[in-house]
């Protein structure tokens, strides 16, 4: 099985930890365990999951899993699997309107869940990604002027700006602003783009200098701060020649 980044939305801690253990044993990574819309939004912005497992009834949350799924669908693109013990037809009807990748009734067999997750993920990908944007140099982003063509090789870095993203391009004095979430947009860029923090995704090919706390990018006057938590991971992927 391919290792997937999975978000769990579940209000019961024991159930959430059981899901986490089951999925981690099959090689998947749990990005977060969230209990309400605020925690879900933070988790998705921090790390965009490949797929989410969403309980429908969330005690203590103002919104149930179906309402949260609807809001996620407006900003992000990843499959959602509903997990529920509710067999009510009206609940199923509401859930169906969000176009989930699966609707699994509790109790379910733990050994079958990883297969359900992987099938849902690949079905979603086959429906939404006939052409992999990562494999093309150009992407087209919607703006008030229509679709704007951007060559990814010219992108120096991306910066989150609330619910918008600023794209800084080579030889362009001004950045371009798009109504889009940074985590969602970043998934369409290749491996040489690295998310250095919640607010920045940088093109590693434009790194000019790194000191203990900052990165200087070619063509950009202001250096970018490196969070301490990201420094070790960044240094692992850079071809650093160390002295003996």
Which is more confident, 240 or 44?
A: 44
Average pLDDT of 9-20?
A: 93
Determine what percent of the chain is predicted with pLDDT higher than 90: 52
Is the bond leading into 79 cis (omega within 30 degrees of zero)?
Answer: no
Average pLDDT of 95-101?
A: 91
Length of the chain measured in residues:
244
pLDDT at position 75 is 82
**pLDDT tens per residue across span 76-87:** 889 999 998 888
Give me the domains of the chain, ranges plus CATH numbers.
5-128 (3.40.50.2300), 138-237 (2.40.50.1020)
Average pLDDT of 227-231?
A: 84
pLDDT at position 125 is 80
Question: Are the CB atoms for 176 and 148 separated by under 8 Å?
Answer: yes
Average pLDDT of 6-26?
A: 93
Average pLDDT of 24-39?
A: 93
Task: Round to whole Å and give the CA distance between 42 and 47.
Answer: 9
Q: What is the dihedral of CA 150, 152, 157, 162, to 10 degrees?
A: 50
- Which spans in the chain are helix H? 13-25, 37-46, 65-75, 89-96, 113-128, 182-186, 228-237
DSSP structure class, residue 240: P
With tokens 């938590």, the residue in question is 229
DSSP reduced 3-state for 163:
coil
127: tokens are: 């429906």
With tokens 């981690």, the residue in question is 24
Is residue 131 predicted with pLDDT exceeding 60?
no
Question: Are the CB atoms for 224 and 202 separated by under 8 Å?
Answer: yes
42: tokens are: 């933070």
The b-or-e profile of 36-45 (16+ CB within 10 A means b, else e) is bbebbbebbb
Determine what percent of the chain is predicted with pLDDT higher than 70: 95
Task: Round to whole Å and give the CA distance between 182 and 134.
Answer: 16
Measuring CA to CA, which residue among 109, 112, 120, 151 is closest to residue 49? 120
Is residue 139 predicted with pLDDT exceeding 90?
no
Is residue 212 predicted with pLDDT exceeding 90?
no
Measuring CA to CA, which residue among 5, 3, 66, 65 is closest to residue 34? 65
pLDDT at position 132 is 58
**pLDDT tens per residue across span 106-119:** 888 888 888 889 88
Is residue 165 predicted with pLDDT exceeding 80?
yes
pLDDT at position 135 is 60
Whether the model pTM is above 0.85: no
Question: What are the backbone dihedrals phi and psi of residue 202, each rounded to the nearest 5 degrees, phi first?
Answer: -110, 150
pLDDT at position 52 is 96
């Amino acid at each position: 099985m391919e290792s997937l980044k999975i978000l769990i939305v579940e209000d019961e801690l024991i159930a959430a930890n059981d899901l986490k253990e089951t999925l981690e044993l099959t090689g998947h990574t749990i990005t977060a365990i969230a209990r309400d819309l605020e925690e879900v939004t933070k988790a998705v912005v921090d790390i965009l999951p490949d797929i989410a497992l969403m309980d429908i009834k969330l005690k203590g949350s103002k919104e149930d899993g179906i309402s949260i799924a609807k809001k996620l669908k407006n900003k992000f693109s990843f499959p959602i699997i509903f997990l529920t013990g509710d067999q009510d037809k009206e609940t199923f009807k509401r859930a169906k309107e969000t176009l989930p990748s699966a609707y699994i009734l509790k109790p379910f067999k733990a050994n079958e869940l990883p297969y359900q997750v992987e099938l849902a993920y690949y079905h979603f990908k086959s429906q939404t990604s006939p052409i992999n944007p990562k494999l093309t140099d150009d992407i087209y982003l919607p703006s008030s002027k229509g679709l704007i063509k951007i060559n990814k090789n010219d992108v120096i870095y991306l910066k989150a700006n609330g619910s918008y993203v600023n794209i800084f391009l080579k030889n362009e004095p001004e950045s371009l602003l798009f109504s889009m979430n940074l985590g969602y947009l970043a998934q369409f860029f290749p491996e040489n783009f690295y998310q250095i923090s919640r607010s920045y995704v940088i093109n590693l090919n434009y790194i000019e200098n790194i000191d203990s706390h900052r990165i200087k990018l070619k063509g950009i006057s202001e250096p970018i701060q490196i969070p301490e938590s990201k420094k070790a991971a960044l240094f692992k992927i850079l071809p650093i020649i160390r002295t003996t």
